[in-house]
Amino acid sequence: MLVGGVDEAGRGSIIGPLVVAGVSVRESKIAKLKEMGVKDSKLLTAQARERLYGEIISLSEHHHIHVIKSTEVDANVLLKGLNRLEAKAMAHVISHINAKEVFVDCCDTNTGRYRDYIASHLETVPTIHSLHHADRINVVVSAASILAKITRDAEIKKIRKRHRDIGSGYPSDERTMLFIKDWVGRKKCPPAFARKSWKPLRLMLEELEQRTLI
């Protein structure tokens, strides 16, 4: 039987895409993931994630990665639908990994509701386990978290090549926020690759609009 894991990277970021990844592994090979050193991507060094990325793809039966642009994130946040967007993306990934049983990292406070969101977008519904912190407690989800993180980092590197010092892309990063503040100050608009629905950038744009009206 194939067991699947699905996770995301970049949900809280103010720059760059939200990435959802999934893998399916034969039940008999799950122990091998642990032997390889697979764990939650946040607990691994960049070098370890790079090494494991190829090993995970080689070991898995299927993998699928879905990249959601900042503009799509914005459109759904404005409708208070970020959880539904992520659930739809997870359903898309699940439909490509052919697993009979799937573990997903749940972003909703209600795990059952989130499972039902995902199931509503699937024609064939496997057994879905919706869990908080699944990337820490389930090694197949950990494997998916590594694929998502590596893909997300690659997207950030593309932006960094053109715009240099953008930091990590997260609102908690002072370099990231200084980059956005400088951009808005000079160009009077947000970067296309930034999420203008996020509160820090939204406040900058509101302040800019107020200054323009004075």
- C-alpha 44/C-alpha 38 separation (Å) is 9
The predicted structure's pLDDT at residue 212:
67
- C-alpha 2/C-alpha 9 separation (Å) is 23
**Domains of the chain (ranges, CATH numbers):** 2-160 (3.30.420.10), 162-209 (1.10.10.460)
Q: Nearest-CA neighbor of 171 among 17, 13, 9? A: 13
pLDDT digits (tens, 9 = 90+) for 18-41: 999 999 999 999 999 999 999 999
Contact 165, 78 (CB under 8 A): no
pLDDT digits (tens, 9 = 90+) for 28-86: 999 999 999 999 999 999 999 999 999 999 999 999 999 999 999 999 997 889 999 99
